[in-house]
Amino acid sequence: MRKKLVAGNWKMHGSLQQNALLLERLKAGMPGVQCAVAVCVPHPYLAQAQSLLADSLVLWGAQSVSEHASGAYTGEVSASMLREFGCHHVLVGHSERRSLFGETDAVVAAKFVAAQKEGLVPVLCLGETLAEREAGHTMAVILRQLSAVIDHAGVVALASAVVAYEPVWAIGTGVTASPAQAQEVHAAIRVRLAELDSGLAGGLKILYGGSVKPQNAVELFAQADIDGGLIGGAALVADDFLAICQAAN
């Protein structure tokens, strides 16, 4: 059985004081949590996360990474820099990076490779817009995004990665894909990978992201191919995030 993972994406939220309270509360609530837990924090707070979480079971990571190892790329942060702050995971291809900052499938694939070269675990985000879902293009979009990484890195690279299905229409909207809708996409991703490498497909963690809350987490995580969650707003409320982690037990 795949051990579940619950990862929090803080997005552009937080302050030193707020973070300290949240992280200390998470640490205190970890006894009894059986799944793996991670928080992906804004870059300026990585040092704080490293300091506060180093003696805990909570992993920490970043929300984005440059595809470049170094150079004249003002404002960018390389994978080696993230590694120096003890990062374990890094998000790549989040829909907000794709839509707001123009990250193409090719850029996402390059970031995926750059992260793995430094020993980071990329969390590859895949997802369709509402218009794409209503047009019946969900799986075409998901498989296009997935294939871009496989073509660039090889399918075996996914053995050291996590995939997160995040329907764009459910991120931050309060609307959640039904457990059946989410399971359908998760299963299709696993079937596609099984066609290329059956052993890898069986062990790959595929997370669901998109308005996961304590009220719906148990039913979502009970689906056969949903291996945890990538949590947005609820990750900023310690009790809610811990309840979601408990749901993943």
Residues identified as active-site: 94, 166
What b/e sequence results for 72-96 when a residue is b if at least 16 CB atoms lie within 10 Å of its CB, and e otherwise?
eeeeebbbbbbbebbbbbbbbbbbb
Token pair recorded at residue 48:
């704080």
Strands 162-165 vs 206-208: parallel, antiparallel or unpaired: parallel
Q: How many helices (H) and strands (E) does the chain have?
A: 11, 8
- Distance between CA 232 and CA 127 in Å, rounded? 15
Q: E strands along the chain, which residues?
A: 5-9, 36-41, 58-62, 89-92, 121-126, 162-165, 206-208, 228-231
Specify whether the CB–CB gap between 219 and 188 falls below 8 A.
no
